[in-house]
A and B are shown apart, each in its own frame.
Chain A
Amino acid sequence: MLRMKDVSKVYRTEVIETHALRELSLEVREGEFVAVTGPSGSGKTTFLNIAGLLEELTSGTYTLDGVDVSSLDDRARSRLRNEKIGFVFQSFNLIPDLDLFANVDVPLRYRGLSRTDRHRRIASALERVGLGSRMKHFPAELSGGQQQRAAIARAIAGGPKLLLADEPTGNLDSAMAREVMQLLEELNAQGTVVVIVTHDPEIAARAQRNIHVVAGIAADLERGPALVRAPAGAADHHQPTA
């Protein structure tokens, strides 16, 4: 589903060059639930941004569902992102002046679907996360857990094959966090690949596989760490991450 080989990401300014990812190689297969862990500043979020086509990689190759994304232009990347990927963010990132219906509608609008099809998908996604009766509610009228479930509904409305979640339970209490994790697990059980970035060992433990990122290098803990140590100077400068 997702294959990265020797992916590097370097942020350059006039005075500093920051290596956020260093020749990172990993693979996430169909049906997997993977947790990406690592200390702050290790490159987890950069990995997630590149995986989600939100940032371009500096070098290496990245194949998403069989498509080499390295050479795609913005339009093609946006389309691929819209069709294949769903995002769940720590701070939900719902649009405050849109009700839940219109929030879930956002990715579908860019897909160019018919009105009927969009309405069917929105209703189905909100029903799926237990918010079918809250379609006309605005984000501010919901609890944190409900907002995150709405964000998940938005992420899955387009039927993505890959769900990328960046600390999805970071802003929730433990009961709500369990609820959200359960929902993600259910989605995974139905065939959606879930990649979750987390600091929380409890959340990571619920994943089928953990990938540990240290100083921009990944270690696959399921198959034994191919890279367990950062090369000297790997974390000299890095982007602050979640």
Chain B
Amino acid sequence: MFVYYLELAARSFRRDRALTALMIVAIAFGVGASMTMLTVLHVVSADPIPGHSRDLYYILVDSQRLDSYVPGEEPDFQSTRFDAEAIVRARRADRQAMMSGGNVAIESGRPDLPPFFVSARYTSADFFPMFRAPFAAGAPWTAAEDDGSARVAVITRALAGKLFGPGDAVGRAIRVDGHDLRILGVLDAWQPNPHFWDVSSGRTYGETEQVFVPFSTSRELKLRPEGNMNCWGNEPGPNDNLALDAPCTWIQLWVELDSPDKVAAFHDFLISYSEEQRRAGRFQRPPNVRMRDVLEWLDFRQVVPRDVRLQTWVALGFLLVCLINTVGLLLTKFLRGSPLLGVRRALGASKRSIFAQLLVESGAIGFAGGILGLGVAWLGLFAVRHQPTPYAQLAHLDLPMLGATFGLAIAASLLAGLLPAWRGSQISVASQLKSH
């Protein structure tokens, strides 16, 4: 009967072209607007490292002064260089990496390619396996190279192509801020969004950094860090705030722990580390540590832009308005067709059959609305991509969202069709036959 109901729906559309078109347009705009914003929300709030996000922990220890201390308050959202280096050196986790963003000048030495700036990350060897960064060629540097402040780097495939063309970049030198570094590895396409490892840099979305350098090397070469920095105590001079013992937080610290027992043990380690630092006079506050996995950290830092959430709610509200309009239009359409429904009832259609027939018609309107809604969503996302927002370039419909668009359109139209279909199935047959 489903196919028969579809045939009847097609005939009904032809009979009431204007009304049907109006409903399709209403659903298309409601669904299109909703899917535009849901896609943006989906992109900006997606798990950036699925399958591993629950094993990666952002670490904070409270190293600030005692004055203005409120028990239980959050530590600063980054670590001091001293604490980060100490915790990484302790190697209590499966993997650990400290890092900071940077912005470095690249000199190709080619006359056709003038020097240019790229974003960089100064980090530890574990960064790559910990964050599942795929290598197209070569390999990451080692812990020994971290310890030895080796003049090495890992670059992205895009940068390798720009500098060296299609040839192999591994083993070649790259000139970074006036220093030659040997390329150990080339990263394959890798674009986790948001860039969860550093959500304070202002580059939370979009392309990843293009050059990766050992943190120790970055300090020896005095490569410029970039990002948020918070200092206290005896304010260091402008050149000292990057020093090992500077009372400044500017480092992101991550560890990988693959079991609850390890998480608990690492938490205990952080507590004992804080107590030890307090005994040594570096920490003034009682132990105050935090460990948050990737999703908790993104949630805590409210990485998903507030305006995206707000606009999503507005779009869903618009869909609701479109649905209410569709309910009214469907009621009009179905009740206008009551005499024909009466004839069908007289000829043996049960109320359930009529209800199913009308619901299939609603669903078919939703399907058509979904197709048009895809176009509206495509236009909406096109508009989003031209907005000056950091996540603009990510706003694309992927396969799941494409399926969701149709799902939403059909679900919305079925929902809108419930009341009209029920009313249509409850008509008084006798009176409709008289009026036909």
Contacts and interface: CB of A to CB of B under 8 A. Distances in A.
Given A91-B436, A93-B343, A81 B430 contact: no
Nearest to A80: B348
Interface in A102-120: 106-107, 109-111
Interface of B: 1, 4, 11, 14-15, 339-340, 343-353, 429-430, 433-434, 436
Given A97-B11, A98-B11, A109-B4, A78 B350 contact: yes
Given A81-B347, A154-B347, 9 more contacts: A79-B348, A87-B347, A93-B433, A95-B340, A107-B347, A110-B347, A110-B349, A158-B348, A242-B434
Q: Identify which of B1, B344, B347, B351 gathers the most chain A CB atoms within 10 Å of its CB.
A: B347
Contacts of A79: 348, 350
Contact of B433 (A46, A54, A78, A98): A54
Main secondary structure of the interface of B (DSSP, over half): helix
Given A52-B346, A87-B346, A97-B14, A74 B429 contact: no
Contact of A78 (B11, B14, B345): B345
A75 interface: yes
B1 to A, nearest CB: 7
Interface string A40-54: 000001100100101
Nearest to A98: B11
Contacts of A89: 433, 436
Most A Cβ at <10 Å: residue of B348, B352, B429 = B348
Given A95-B340, A242-B434, A78 B429 contact: no
A82 interface: yes
Interface residues of A, number: 28
A68 interface: no
Interface string A146-159: 00000000100010
21 contacts: A45-B430, A49-B429, A55-B430, A74-B351, A78-B345, A78-B350, A78-B351, A78-B353, A81-B346, A82-B347, A82-B348, A87-B347, A91-B436, A93-B436, A97-B14, A106-B347, A107-B347, A109-B4, A110-B347, A110-B349, A110-B353
A81 B351 CA distance: 13
A74 to B, nearest CB: 5
A165 to B, nearest CB: 13
B326 to A, nearest CB: 23
Given A79-B350, A97-B15, A54 B1 contact: no
Interface string A225-242: 000000000000000001
A104 to B, nearest CB: 10
A210 B212 CA distance: 102
Nearest to A75: B350
A78 B436 CA distance: 20
